[in-house]
Structures are given as C-alpha cells and as structure tokens.
Structure 1
C-alpha cells in the first residue's frame, strides 16, 4: 500500500466461499466493485433500485466472466419499507452474509423527501444503510471474516450534522446536505465499530472513500452549477470507477484491514491513487456525536441493532 507498490484489484484474495451484498451495484463504483468481487469468485447480491438495470449489469459481467455468481434484488434505500423487504429476502435465501458494502448514494438534488418524509440524501445515503446494516447484522455475525464497508467521501470533512434541522426544512443547500450525509456515513462507521467491539462481535466496520471518481453520481441528481462543475468541467481530473472502487475493495477483502479504519486513495488530497489508510475528520470520531447520531437514527428508522456478545 505504498506509492511505489500500490495495491490493485489483482491482489484481491480468492473470494470463492464468500457472500457479498453491494448496494447501488448496477453502475459506477458499485458495478466496478461487483465485477471485481465476481472475478475473484465471490457471490454478489446486487442490491439495486431498478431491477432491469441490475439484470443488464449481470449480463455485462457474465459476458466477460461466464459462470460469475450473481443475483439481483430490489432495494430502494430511500424507502425503509423496501429496506425491510430486501432484508427479509436475503434472510430467506442465505444462511450467512460475509460482507455488506454500503455503497449507493445520491448527490446534491433539489430538496426532496423520502417515502418516510426524510430529506432524501440523509435518507438514502445514511438512514437506509443504517437500517439495512442492523437488519443484516445477524447474518454477518455468522459470516466468514465478516465486514461492513460504508462508503463515505472526502466531503465528510466539510460536513456538519444539522441536528436542529436534519431535514433542511428551515434552510437547505444541496451540497451542504450532501456533505452532512457523507459525514453521517463516517460517524456511523466509527460508532458501529465501537459497539461491535464492546459486544465482542466478529464483525468489523470499515470506512472507505473513492477520491474523485467519474460516476453518474455527479450527473443523475445535481442541478445547476453543481452538475456543471462536477459532471463536466472537472471530469477530466477524475479517476475511472475501476480505480475509484479500489479503497472499498481493499476494505472488503484485504486480510490486514482492521475495524474502524478509513481507506482512501494515496494521492494528492486523497483525490486519486491506490488504497491506503487515511484519517477521518475529528467530527467523525467524536464519541458524543456518534451516540447522538445513533440515537437519532434509531428514532427515525425504528431500527434496533442486536449485537451477539462474544
């Protein structure tokens, strides 16, 4: 993991016996992650909002890798009822889950509310993944080298949690609330590891971020100057998804990874490069912030984590 010997997808260990769930697996970082895991023999559950796009992604991968072990399941992270239905299906069909990659997200849309009335970015990027993790934790605790990989962003360092206006009813800025959701990802990943450690659980919570990577995240939801800047003007500076996915692939598969670590690119300003350990913002590791976000998330989702004590 040094700049002279950067880790690549070719170094992913054999994953033949492992089961993965990847949210947002039909495009961008999720598709790149799914392709790489399938190439190394992993069975991947593609958790996607649009099942047709999921099946097209499977066809694309199997055309390159005949015999790849893949399945498509519908998951709309902005609708907690969909999260619960997805978790029920996974429980019905799988005795264990080895890795959950909380990858999907939305970036900088006009203010929109989720099915349950929460601000869309906080709902999709954080609350949906919070509930999903809690519902699948029992399967993960039976897993092989089990991990939860939550994908954040360098933008978490510019974020703050608007606890007094979490849904942006009084004031809303698309990028400020995107940054809030990415900070929430980082805070959640750290707080989850604290609770896993306290319980003696075998599951590890690991954070990752892709640096600046060209995906449809920058073009599918943003409007105005945000879309122009990130979706067009700065695109020549961005990494391809296969490169941007390396930190989350490393977090999901490398034997050296420890719970609570944050994996990102090793290049200038963590914008591109090979995966290495990076430092989260101080707000991400603050114990009181973690407790407060956890309790709020429980309140907004009705999710309650049951940790198997070691």
Structure 2
C-alpha cells in the first residue's frame, strides 16, 4: 500500500529529528500513520531456518523470539554457551513448541567463524536468513585473534566471512546486518579502517564500523546476487540494550524514559527477515522504511573512497 504524502512527511520529520524518531515516540507515531508496512503474515517462516548472531541478550534474544513466533527454526549463535542455553531455555518455556538450536562461535575469530560455518552447512541444507546482530564496544582498543580492531572484526569482517562461507546453504535467502544510527556521524574512513592512526574512542570505533556495514552492503549485495541472496542493513533506534547499559550509562540516564525495549528494537530485523516479498537488496532501513545512508554531504563517500574500502574488505576477508 502506498503511503500518503502527509504520512511520509511526518515520518521523514521524525527521522531527521533523531530524538523523536529513534525513540519509542517515533515508533508509536509511525505505527499509527496510514501506510505502516504490515506485519509478516502468521506462520510465514514455518519450516524455514534462520540464524541469529549475538542471540544471548538484548536485541538478539528479542529477534530470536520474534522469528520463533513466526514459525522459524531459529539457530542461536553465541559466544557463551552456558548463557545461550539459559536464554534458549527461557524462550522454550515461554513459547512451548519453539524450534531452537544453539551454536557456539566467536564472530571476531575468523578461524572459529569458518569452523562454525563448515559445521552448520553440514547439518542445515537450506538457510532462509542470517541476522548479523552480534555487537561489541570495547573500552580500549582491542584486537581479534587475526589482529583486526575488535569492533570492525565483529560488525563487518566476521559477518562477511561467515556469509561467504554459508553462501551454498543461503542461496535464495537473506542477509540482515544490524547497524546503528550512530553511523550518521561518521565518514567512511578507508584510510584508517581499524583506528590505528587516530586516537581510539569506543563510540567512534563502533560508529565507524557501522558506517562500513552500510557502505559495503550494496557491494556485497552485488556479489551475492548471483546466488539470489538479498542484503539489508538497518538501525534499530535507541534501545535499552545491555550494550547501552554497560557502555553508555550517561546516555541511558538521560534517555531512559523514551528508550525502546528489546522487542521494539528488534522489530525491523524480524520484519526484514520475514516479510514477503523480500525487500529490495542493498538498502538501509529503520522502522520498516528505507532511509538515506547519509544526512550530511561531509559523510557521503565518493567513489574512490568506497572503492578503496571495498578493496580493503576483500583483502582481509579473502574474497576473490
């Protein structure tokens, strides 16, 4: 259904205001506007397999719950198996009959990612979607086992390697990358992708890696289109996640009354994984609507910068 002009104008105004658009206020208003994209139909994912990374807390757990409610067999990818098992147990208790599988993997460790992908593909013949939700914001500059800055390793390098390794079973499926509205404040730094030259800041490293997700998505979409795989990036708005609670306590104190809960933050992830027909590939989304990837000219990369970034990503992920 086409959205009326007034509804589009209100939606855009909420989006540009940030404070209104990213909070519970924005979601509530958008849901009430004419043309709100409808929910996926009940049971749409029955018989389908979906993989969710970072599934043991926050938005990841809420994404698992939303997908399970639509009938999917959901594979929970976690780093801490004991924590993941406890979460899976709680979900099963609240949703009897839910089909859940637990897998362990450190998304930052490319050797572990490839090990997991081999094991997963040996057991799962067809994967409908992977939701790359795992996230980190280390207080000091930290490197992965392969020497990559940890935010970049978890948010981009690991997910690309994992998806590439799963292409066979993911053919015809979907890739969903959970980004952040914080990326709007950052340029694509192809000259310093892993924060070696600049002073380290947790929020800067996090936002830069999220900018990379969004800028690389169209190029990844082109690469994976040969297998019928679609790619979507999204930002969940401001949600009261464990990451916000631990890493941004002052921000949480100021915004807590209007922060989204986990279910609200996971809404677009679930929608992108389940809605039919699949949304157009390579786009950036928030609250079920495609959004611009840059709001300021200074953060819009030129072709040369994007090409340089793509060359770096291909090198570190061994894309041929």
TM-score (norm 1): 0.85
| 2:224 paired residue among 190, 196, 202 | 196
Query: Any conservation in 2 of the 1:153–1:211 contact (CA below 8 Å)?
Result: yes
How does 1:81-230 map onto structure 2 within 5 Å? 81-107=111-137, 109-141=139-171, 143=172, 146-170=173-197, 171-197=199-225, 199=226, 201-220=227-246, 222=247, 227-230=248-251
| 2:93 paired residue among 41, 45, 63 | 63
Q: Answer yes or no: is 1:251 the counterpart of 2:272.
A: yes
Q: Answer yes or no: is 1:263 the counterpart of 2:285.
A: yes
Q: Secondary structure at the match of 1:245?
A: helix
RMSD: 2.2
Query: Any conservation in 2 of the 1:162–1:180 contact (CA below 8 Å)?
Result: yes
Decide whether aligned partners of structure 1 residues 84 and 284 sit closer, same or farther in structure 2, where only a CA change above 3 A counts: farther
Q: Secondary structure at the match of 1:211?
A: coil
- How far off is 1:289 after superposition? 4.0
Query: Any conservation in 2 of the 1:26–1:57 contact (CA below 8 Å)?
Result: yes
CA distance in 1, matches of 2:222, 2:286: 21
Which stretches in structure 1 are left out of the alignment for 5+ residues? Answer: 266-274, 306-310
Decide whether aligned partners of structure 1 residues 219 and 207 sit closer, same or farther in structure 2, where only a CA change above 3 A counts: same
- How far off is 1:298 after superposition? 2.6
Query: Any conservation in 2 of the 1:19–1:42 contact (CA below 8 Å)?
Result: yes
Decide whether aligned partners of structure 1 residues 288 and 11 sit closer, same or farther in structure 2, where only a CA change above 3 A counts: farther
Decide whether aligned partners of structure 1 residues 284 and 75 sit closer, same or farther in structure 2, where only a CA change above 3 A counts: farther
Query: Any conservation in 1 of the 2:188–2:301 contact (CA below 8 Å)?
Result: no
Q: Secondary structure at the match of 2:134?
A: coil
Q: Secondary structure at the match of 1:16?
A: coil
In structure 2, the partner of 1:52 is 82
Which stretches in structure 2 are left out of the alignment for 5+ residues? Answer: 8-29
CA distance in 1, matches of 2:307, 2:164: 16
Q: Secondary structure at the match of 1:160?
A: coil
CA distance in 2, matches of 1:178, 1:80: 19
- How far off is 1:12 after superposition? 5.5
CA distance in 1, matches of 2:292, 2:163: 23
Give the length in aligned residue pairs: 285
CA distance in 2, matches of 1:92, 1:8: 36
CA distance in 1, matches of 2:162, 2:280: 22
CA distance in 2, matches of 1:18, 1:230: 38
- How far off is 1:247 after superposition? 1.1
Q: Deviations over 1:262-281 (max 9, x none)?
A: 2203xxxxxxxxx2222212
- How far off is 1:169 after superposition? 2.6
How does 1:25-40 map onto structure 2 within 5 Å? 25-40=55-70
| 2:312 paired residue among 275, 289, 296 | 296
Query: Any conservation in 2 of the 1:29–1:242 contact (CA below 8 Å)?
Result: yes
CA distance in 2, matches of 1:298, 1:260: 17
- How far off is 1:211 after superposition? 0.7
TM-score (norm 2): 0.82
- How far off is 1:36 after superposition? 0.9
Q: Secondary structure at the match of 1:234?
A: helix
